[in-house]
Amino acid sequence: MAVMSRLCAVCGAPFTATRTDAEICSGACRKRRSRAVTKAREEKAAADLARLLHLVSAALDESPSTKGMN
Ligand SMILES: [Zn+2]
């Protein structure tokens, strides 16, 4: 079996991979990464919502009925 030296995708520590698709050194790092992915997903959802609210308020601001014809 081929043994490869890799760098962990989470903590950057070198580890010995026994599978070609291994990219994480330990169970702790695996957990850390899945938490990070969840957090990133939540942050993206929050950003999407904020953008949506901004678009809605911008659309309301641009409504002729609230600004008049100048
Ligand atoms: Zn690691």
Domain boundaries, the chain: 4-17+26-64
Which residues hold their Cβ within 5 A of ligand 1, which is an ion? 8, 10-11, 25, 29
3-class DSSP string for the chain: CCCEEEECCCCCCEEEECCCCCCCCCHHHHHHHHHHHHHHHHHHHHHHHHHHHHHHHHHHHCCHHHHCCC
Which pLDDT score, from 0 to 100, does residue 5 have?
92
Distance in Å, CA 67 to ligand 1 centroid? 57
Which pLDDT score, from 0 to 100, does residue 18 have?
86
pLDDT digit string, tens, across residues 29-70: 999 999 999 999 999 999 999 999 999 999 999 876 655 566
What backbone torsions phi and psi does residue 47 show, to the nearest 5 degrees? -65, -40
